[in-house]
Each structure stands twice: as structure tokens, then as C-alpha cells.
Amino acid sequence: MPDVSTIVFAATGVLFIGLSKAGFGGGLGMLTTPLCVLAFGVGGRDPSFAIGTLLPLLCAGDAFSLYHYWGKWERKNLLYLLPGVVVGVVAGLGLIGSFSPRQLNIAIGVLAISFVAFQFIKAAIFRAEGAFAPNHRIGIPCGIGAGLTSTFAHGAGPVVSLFLIPQQMPKEIYVGTTVLVFTWINWIKMPFFVAQGVVTRETLLTGLCYLPLIPVGVWTGVWLNRKFSEKLFLRLVYGFTLLTAVQLIFNFDLARLFR
């Protein structure tokens, strides 16, 4: 595949960060990591390069969301989730170091498929749950799960949702709380990623090239919210996520399609 394909796929993945931070497409951001891993992999980069490139971009996206939802959150959730997040991030980095690039691709692919499956069963799960008061007994395991999945694929969304949605907060407070939690998770990861060499000068410079796409994605997300059906869009996204995940797991020879 030509180098332009790497740029297009990676740019699309980064654009999805802005779209998801604008509140369009639900868990659309889960597609970002698999798509960028696939894109940079074509250029010979291992998955950790994509993970390291995306983290500062996610932090930039969080800044836009924080501005929009400032103060519209339930801060107490941080007390229950963050201790587990730190444990999960440390454990996740240790596991990443023991995986080969091929094994890490498979792990990210499996997480992406699990995410899509979660979207179809979450309504049934949450219907079976009553409203509950957040606590450490549930929050710490959820935090560990969020830290692990966020370290591997920046994909803590489903785990955080399992903890937040049953609290039955008003929609705006729920979204604002999600923004606050993800902001803390991403900044907790940053010093660990730098220390482990996942975020490097090269990943920062690469991410800088894609940074303008974050505000473009946010603006586009706001516009799409007003103009298009999110339900149809999500079906397309979930289908594309599945295809990307299958490619990461089975490593098909895509170059044959262009010969």
C-alpha cells in the first residue's frame, strides 16, 4: 500500500477523536487506535508507536471537551475509579512490554471486537441494573479494567460506562463526568508512557502533524449532530471497526488488493 494510505487512515482515526469528543458517534473513539495501529503498521511501525502518538492527541481532545462541559460532572467518581486506574496502567505497561508487535495487534483487535459486542448488549445490561451509589468495591475493579484497556488501546469507554451509567445521572452530567474521568485517565498515563518510551520525541512530532484535525473533528461532530442520523452512522462505524479488528487479528495481505 502506498504511503498516502497510511496518512489517510491515520488522519481518519485522529478525526474520530474530535468527533467523539463533540458527542457524536458515542464510542466512535474506540476505532481510533485500531485504525492508527493498522495505518502505521503499513509503514513498518509497531503498535506502541500508534499508542504513543495518540495519547497527546487524546489529551488535546479532552481539553476541548472540558471547556464545553466545565463543572457539569460528578467529581466523586474520581475517588472510586482513579486508584484502580493507576494499578491498571502500571500493569498494562508491564504486559505491553512482554508482547510482540503481532501479539499486541491481536490484543487490540480483540478489544475492538469486544467493544462492538458491548454496544449491542449494554442496553440489556443496564436495564437489569437499578441506580446505585458509587463505591470503592465496584469502582476499584472498574478502574483497574479501565487502566488496562486504556493502556492497550485507549479503549476504557465500555468499562467506565459500566460504572457511570447505572448511577442514572442526567445526560449532560453523565457526559461531563465521562469527560472528566477520561481526562484524568489520559494524564495519569502520560508520565508512565514517557518513562517507558511509549511517548517519545518522534511520536510527539508525528502527532503534531495531525493535531489540527482535533478541532476540525470537534466542529464536524457538532455539525453532524444537527444534520444526520447518528444511528445509521454508528452502524457504519461498528462495521468498519469489526473489519479493522479482523485485519489486526488475522493480518491479511492487503497489498494483494492493489497489485
Q: Kindly report the backbone phi and psi dihedral angles of residue 154, in degrees, each rounded to the nearest multiple of 5, phi listed first.
A: 45, 40
Amino acid letter for position 183? T
Cα 46 from Cα 193, distance rounded (Å): 15
At 258, is the pLDDT very low, low, confident or very high (cuts 50, 70, 90)?
very low
Cα 67 from Cα 61, distance rounded (Å): 10
Q: For residue 56, which of 208, 221, 209 has the smallest C-alpha distance?
A: 208
Looking at residue 255, its pLDDT comes to 46
The single-letter DSSP state of residue 25 is S
Examine residue 258 and state whether it is found in any structural domain, yes or no: no
Query: Percent of the chain beyond pLDDT 90?
Result: 31
The b-or-e profile of 54-63 (16+ CB within 10 A means b, else e) is: bbbbbbbbbe
Examine residue 259 and state whether it is found in any structural domain, yes or no: no
Three-point CA angle 181, 185, 190, nearest 5°: 150
For the chain, the domain total comes to 1
Cα 204 from Cα 208, distance rounded (Å): 6
- List the single range of 22-26, 27-31, 83-87 with lowest mean pLDDT: 22-26
30-43: pLDDT as tens digits: 778 888 988 898 77
CB-based contacts of 191, cutoff 8 Å, min separation 6: none
Looking at residue 259, its pLDDT comes to 41
Q: Is the pLDDT of residue 254 over 60?
A: no
Examine residue 163 and state whether it is found in any structural domain, yes or no: yes
Examine residue 61 and state whether it is found in any structural domain, yes or no: yes
Identify the burial level of 144 via C-beta atoms within 10 angstroms of its C-beta, where 0-12 means exposed, 13-18 middle and 19 or more buried.
buried
Helices (H), the chain: 3-21, 32-42, 47-68, 76-98, 101-127, 136-153, 157-164, 171-195, 201-210, 213-227, 230-250
Examine residue 205 and state whether it is found in any structural domain, yes or no: yes
Q: What is the arithmetic mean of pLDDT over 104-113?
A: 82
Q: What is the arithmetic mean of pLDDT over 213-236?
A: 74
Q: What is the arithmetic mean of pLDDT over 88-92?
A: 93
SS3 211: coil
| H or E, element range at 251 | none
- List the single range of 45-49, 88-92, 222-226 with lowest mean pLDDT: 222-226
Looking at residue 221, its pLDDT comes to 75
What residues make up the domain containing 226?
3-253
CB-based contacts of 118, cutoff 8 Å, min separation 6: 158
Of the ranges 29-43, 74-88, 92-106, 142-156, the best mean pLDDT one: 74-88
For residues 68 and 139, which has the higher predicted lDDT (pLDDT)?
139
